[in-house]
Structure 1
Amino acid sequence: MFDPLQYLPILIFLFIAVGLSALFVFLPMGVSRLTGAHSPNAEKNSEYECGFPAFEDPRAPFDVRFYMVAILFIIFDLEAAFLFPWAVSLDLTGWPGWITMMVFLFELIVGFAYAWKVGALEWE
């Protein structure tokens, strides 16, 4: 038979989780408003990650070089993420694992050389 009291611990956990989440979100915002730390200015609202102003016409042309550098960063970050487990399990994979990783690294080196050659890494 269905007994709703079985779900009481889950509901208590959910209420506590939602309450703590709201506290961690809204308490710092309220404290910054009360202490005067909330003072937006042109420097704070300027672009620092995307490379172009965030509050302009969305159909305006933009520079693609930032995204090329970001994609290259992600590629080499994933390379590092693949190298660690490969190095740990090399004794299990043996020569086939080593050859596969060398092919993977060769492809990455060729891609990096191509990006360097076409000037994707140069910032004017």
Structure 2
Amino acid sequence: MVDATGRTTVAADYFQGYSVVGIIAVIGVLFVAVAFGAGRLLRPVVPTPEKLLTYECGVDPVGEGWAHTQVRYYVYAFLYVIFAVDSIFLFPWATIFAAPGFGGVTLVEMFIFLGFLAVGLLYAWKKGVLEWT
């Protein structure tokens, strides 16, 4: 923008970039709102007792809604996720490690990362989490 003296204002140029982002965000929100509204208006609504019944894995619900589960299954799943994420970080590290000039630094960083994971695994082992009894 040009002010009264003929100079362009830096603030106007700066906020013009944000106005584009704001307009795109508003258009995105409107698009989602219109899609949800159209879905609500166009779908058939025929509630029956069978549709309102809780359905899980093809088994009809019997008894109360509370069930006892073993926490160890979640712990094993959590440990799997931790080591899966670790393996995801190992592949890019291996490619960077081969690049010239990155060998020593990336090697130290990876050993620090693996050290944190090893301390967590050692803690879980000391607490007896990894025992299947």
TM-score (structure 2 length as normaliser): 0.47
CA distance 1:57–1:64, change in 2 (3 Å) = farther
Deviation at residue 59 of structure 1 after TM alignment: 4.2
Deviation at residue 88 of structure 1 after TM alignment: 1.3
Deviations 1:20-78 (A, max 9, x none): xxxxxxxxxxxxxxxxxxxxxxxx979xxxxxxx9775544432111011000110111
In the alignment, what sits opposite 1:78?
85
> Identity of counterpart residues, as a percentage?
39
Larger gyration radius, structure 1 or structure 2: 2
> Secondary structure at 1:69's aligned position in 2?
helix
Distance 1:56 1:105 in 2: 47
In the alignment, what sits opposite 1:123?
132
Provide structure 1 residue ranges, at least 5 long, that are not aligned to the other structure: 1-43, 47-53
- Which of residues 117, 122, 126 in structure 2 aligns to 1:113? 122
**Runs of 4+ more than 2 Å apart:** 54-62, 91-94
Deviation at residue 119 of structure 1 after TM alignment: 1.1
- Which of residues 96, 99, 102 in structure 1 aligns to 2:105? 96
RMSD over aligned Cα atoms: 2.6
Where do residues 1-124 of structure 1 align in structure 2 (5 Å cutoff)? 57-92=64-99, 93-124=102-133
